[in-house]
């Protein structure tokens, strides 16, 4: 992490999904330019980090997409190279970064980024507990596995919305709005509103 909060250059991976800090996403790399990114990271970057930039409009393959101005710095884990040359791995979300300038794709996207600032305002634990209870009910409705406990403890309130949003199928627009927010309390409010919408959809589907 760049503790002095100075801009730095990072490899970027535009993706149609949002990866939040403290969450993980399984990935498979087959496009040649991103295979080159993986090779460069594995041979030259001790931190094994790159940033995933959510795509606002366009497609992942071929370029020409519009990207969100906030991305998530991720660390590689469980990297495997397939006989076809494809890479599979887990992208572990570390922190939010703000894109200052996109650089030329050479051969893969790169950008000048800076670690995103965070408000000191934290959501109340009672509000977090309320949203946890709602998420558990939604998971039951979806027939999904409900964890014995959600990994939210004192001192990590700023991550609450990220972790909860990573557990339920809210919309990409809602995910992007949560990632954009610098305020942990605002993020939880945005998540709560997104969960309202999801609950309404599930209620509509009830027989």
Residue 4 predicted with pLDDT over 70: no
Question: Residue 25's Cα: distance from chain center in Å?
Answer: 8
Model confidence at 60, pLDDT cuts 50, 70, 90, reads: low
Residue 44: its pLDDT value, please? 81
pTM: 0.89
Sequence-separated (6 or more) residues with CB below 8 Å from residue 59: 16, 65
**Percentage, residues of the chain above pLDDT 90:** 73
Residue 5: its pLDDT value, please? 82
Residue 47: its pLDDT value, please? 80
Q: Which one is predicted more confidently, 44 or 1?
A: 44
Tell me the domain boundaries of the chain.
8-115, 125-205
Fold of the 8-115 domain? 2.30.130
Q: What is the dihedral of CA 18, 19, 22, 28, to 10 degrees?
A: 150
- pLDDT per position as a tens digit, 134-191: 999 999 999 888 877 665 655 689 999 999 999 999 999 999 999 999 999 999 999 9
- Backbone angles phi and psi of 131, in degrees to 5: -70, -35
d(CA 148, CA 85): 38
Model confidence at 77, pLDDT cuts 50, 70, 90, reads: very high
Residue 167: its pLDDT value, please? 92
Residue 129, CA atoms < 13 Å, CB-side half-sphere = 5
Averaged confidence pLDDT in the chain: 90
- pLDDT per position as a tens digit, 136-148: 999 999 988 887 7
Cβ atoms of residues 150 and 85 within 8 Å: no
Residue 57: its pLDDT value, please? 80
């Amino acid at each position: 992490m760049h503790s002095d909060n100075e801009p730095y250059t990072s490899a970027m991976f535009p993706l149609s999904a949002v990866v939040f800090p403290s969450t993980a996403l399984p990935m498979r790399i087959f496009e040649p330019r991103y295979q080159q990114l993986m090779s460069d990271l594995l041979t030259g970057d001790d931190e094994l980090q790159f940033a995933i930039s959510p795509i606002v409009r366009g497609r992942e393959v071929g370029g020409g997409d519009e990207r969100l101005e906030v991305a998530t710095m991720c660390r590689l884990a469980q990297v495997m190279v397939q006989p076809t040359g494809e890479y599979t791995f887990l992208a572990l979300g570390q922190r939010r970064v703000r894109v200052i300038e996109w650089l030329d794709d050479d051969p893969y996207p790169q950008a000048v980024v800076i670690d995103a600032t965070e408000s000191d305002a934290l959501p109340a634990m009672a509000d977090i507990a309320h949203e946890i209870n709602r998420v558990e009910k939604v998971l039951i409705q979806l027939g999904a596995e409900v964890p014995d406990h959600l990994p939210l403890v004192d001192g990590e309130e700023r991550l609450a919305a990220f972790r909860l949003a990573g557990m339920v199928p809210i919309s990409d627009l809602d995910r992007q709005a949560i990632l954009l927010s610098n305020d942990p309390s605002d993020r939880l409010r945005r998540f709560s509103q997104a969960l309202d919408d999801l609950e309404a959809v599930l209620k509509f589907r009830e027989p």
